[in-house]
Amino acid sequence: MGTRGLAEGAVLLLGGRSEIGVEVARRLAPGRVVVLAARRSGELGEHSEAIAAAGATAVHRVEFDADDVASHPAMLAKIAAEHGPIGIAVLAFGVLGDQGRAEQDPAHAMAILHTDFVAQAGVLTSLANLLRAQGAGQIVVFSSVAGIRVRRANYVYGSAKAGLDGFASGLADSLHGSGVHLLLVRPGFVIGRMTEGMSPAPFSSTPDQVAAAVVKGLRTRAGRVWVPWILRPVFFAMRLLPQPIWRRMPR
């Protein structure tokens, strides 16, 4: 394997119900083993069929509880042992949570932070150890523009993404030269199940558009991908807004 292109091996989707994750897996499926990991994995039949129809040589389903961080190392080792080396791992799990509830209920705030930051950091550490030992592999991490400059309207979710963005950036640097590549994806508002009922924000995208950008980023070994790309200069400017103005910004 050279410095560009897709890593060989199985595709692991952590968060087997994620619309974006399934679209990424479907695009990567031809000629590969795909492993869908999620809670209630027995209910992933429709997703398995779509990925098999896209050309996967086999689709396996495994139980994965993102919040049970202690279980991750053994689960990942078992997947690699049973289904071959993990070539591309996609972390597509997470929760949006309820900002209003989180401001009143510390347990809910902590639950959002645990799933969207602590659990991600845990599984990333386990994955990095596994792929370093292989000497090859790719990891996809989904940050968000919500974490680039945290807004009052969604600061619990945004702060989790800010932490994840920083963690993944540092991990990517630590993996340099190891043969393992980390792609950090920074989407804006994505129209899908997770945001159902919410008014789309400017520069919104669809799961299909995000997945296409992810696969392109994997092929070119990009370090970071903004979806859509225009958000990069937009948020560069957003960082310069005075705090009194930023405080009044809507979602």
Q: Which positions are annotated as active-site residues? A: 157
> The sheet that has 224-227: what strands, in order across it?
58-63, 33-38, 10-14, 86-91, 137-142, 180-187, 224-227
Range 22-42 burial, b when 16+ CB lie within 10 A, else e? bbbbbbbbeebbbbbbbeebe
Secondary element (H or E) of residue 42: none
108 class by beta-carbon count within 10 Å (0-12 exposed, 13-18 middle, 19+ buried): middle
Calculate helix-pair angle for 19-28, 45-53, nearest 10 degrees.
30
Residue whose C-alpha is closest to residue 86's, from 46, 119, 123, 47: 123
The answer to whether the CB of 22 falls within 8 A of the CB of 14 is no
